[in-house]
């Protein structure tokens, strides 16, 4: 009984400078970022890629709300409900 893992699929990420890690005499691939579920994980604590992606995804719905808010035919009560 013990831990078994596939060295061909294994990757390592470190928060310090490049590190070489060996297992069974083979070098394990070192990466700087990867995508986990919907987030980009990087070896830095702050990710510009993820922030830019989220900002771009939020711009379209906000632009649609601005069109509705400026529309004079929509009542104020309906505008308040949207916000």
d(CA 6, CA 64): 48
d(CA 20, CA 18): 7
What's the whole-number average pLDDT of the chain?
A: 78
pLDDT at 3: 77
* First-to-final CA distance of the chain: 57
Query: What is the Cα gyration radius of the chain?
Result: 23
Interval 19-35 mean pLDDT: 79
Interval 54-75 mean pLDDT: 83
- On the question of pLDDT at 33 being above 70, the answer is yes
Q: Is the overall model pTM greater than 0.85, yes or no? A: no
Interval 58-72 mean pLDDT: 83
């Amino acid at each position: 009984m013990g831990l078994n893992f596939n060295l061909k699929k294994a990757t390592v990420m470190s928060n310090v400078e490049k590190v070489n890690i060996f297992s069974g005499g083979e070098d394990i691939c070192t990466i700087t970022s990867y995508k986990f579920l919907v987030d980009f994980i990087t070896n830095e604590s702050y990710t510009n890629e993820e922030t830019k992606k989220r900002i771009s995804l939020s711009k379209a719905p906000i632009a649609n709300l601005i069109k509705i808010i400026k529309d004079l035919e929509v009542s104020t009560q309906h505008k308040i409900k949207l916000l």
